[in-house]
Homo-oligomer: A and B are copies of this chain.
Amino acid sequence: MNILILGGDGYLGWPTAMHFASLGHNVCVIDNYMRRNIAQSTSSEPLFFVPNLNDRAEIFKSVTGKHISVIIGDCTDYRLLTNTIKDFSPDTVVHYAEQPSAPYSMTNYESAHLTLNNNLNTTFNLIWAVMENAPDCHIVKLGTMGEYGTPNIDIEEGWLDIEHKGRSDKFLYPRQAGSLYHTSKVLDTDLIWFYVRTHNLKVTDLKQGPVYGLSTKEADMDEKLMPFFNYDDIFGTVVNRFLVQAVADIPLTVYGKGGQTRGFLNLKDTLQCVELAVNSPPPSGDLRILNQFTEQFSVNELAEKVKSAAKTVGLSVRINSIENPRKEQEDHYYNASHSGLLDLGLKPHYLDEDTICEMLEKVILYKSSIDKKKIFPRVKWAT
């Protein structure tokens, strides 16, 4: 299968590229290094150095013999994207080419403008490039569980049957997100659903929860193949941040009351989920939405899990509630359905003690690189 990965340099993009190349697919990645540039300009560099995409593809080839094609370019450039799709003829495009940081999107006008315009236009261009050049191509789009927000009713997988005054209809599940980044994904979904129903596109939208983890089967082969591992407030997801704080002997920074509940998953399961989606495309004209996480817990529960596991590797961890930089509910109902990917065959890796310890041990190797200035939140939601 020809698999084109937009945003192939990212935390998920690069492991996905290696995963499909290892499985024997033809893989091409595009990336404009936006995430690298933002990380540098906000002093949010990852825990360890990550070679550029061309270098990583070379290392991967030397280790596995498998080739990954690399294009450094911007998917908001329609000519580039169209030409790539014409030349590469993808069977599947995996779309990660979005500015992924919620705090960054809340920093100022410029960061919000960049997030909105980049994310909408990469999605818009992909839709058109596929419509005009590869209408049978399956688009696998990374959405986010954050689109749903924290409603007071059960979260279903993308759709909701609504009964109202004795009549009924089925709609996209109501979405109300907590940051401009997450809101840009709400808009993505509206846009994609419009073109799916008017132009018979074939799309899977993976509404993913926060991901954790440092490595994957392929990255284990060479340290230089590991994805970005961010522990800062801009790009670091909460589990990864807690792992570094535990190692650096900084109390785990719980934002506010810590009752915030989300659905989490291991980076290895992201790869499984994307593979399951790619292998079973929906019919044309169908927007298939799958909630991509394996278990849900609150930030407090998460902090306790890390604390307890850390003890077994000799780390004494404290937990500190700090002022919440975000505007969000800190104590709320949360019950999200996620059976679609399990039905497709997902075998979850749970966040158990062994998994946490394994990650902590990897982080310990880089302990001397931890920059404590990156730990505390620098972006506040309210103006």
* A residues with CB within 8 A of B: 78, 109, 112-113, 116-117, 120-121, 124, 128, 131-132, 151-154, 160, 162-165, 167-169, 171-172, 174-177, 180, 183, 186-187, 190-191, 193-194, 198-199, 327, 333, 381-383
Contact = CB atoms under 8 A, between A and B. Distances in A.
Nearest to A198: B327
Contact of A168 (B121, B153, B167, B168): B153
A116 B109 contact: no
A132 B109 contact: yes
A175 B173 CA distance: 11
B190 A167 contact: no
13 contacts: A78-B109, A78-B113, A109-B128, A112-B128, A151-B169, A152-B167, A152-B168, A152-B169, A154-B164, A160-B162, A171-B174, A198-B381, A199-B382
Contacts of A164: 153-154, 160
Contact of A187 (B131, B154, B191): B191
A165 B165 CA distance: 17
A186 B176 contact: no
A131 B199 CA distance: 38
B174 A162 contact: yes
A116 B124 contact: yes
B131 A124 contact: no
A152 B175 CA distance: 20
Contacts of A165: 153-154
B183 A191 contact: yes
A128 B108 CA distance: 9
Given A169-B174, A187-B187, A198-B382, 9 more contacts: A116-B191, A117-B121, A152-B167, A153-B162, A154-B165, A154-B167, A171-B176, A198-B381, A199-B383
Contacts of A120: 116-117, 120, 187
Of residues A131, A169, A176, A198, which shows the largest number of chain B Cβ atoms within 10 Å of its Cβ?
A198
A353 to B, nearest CB: 33
Nearest to A113: B124
A187 to B, nearest CB: 5
Nearest to A326: B198
A333 B174 contact: no
B124 A151 contact: no
A172 B327 CA distance: 19
Contacts of A112: 124, 128
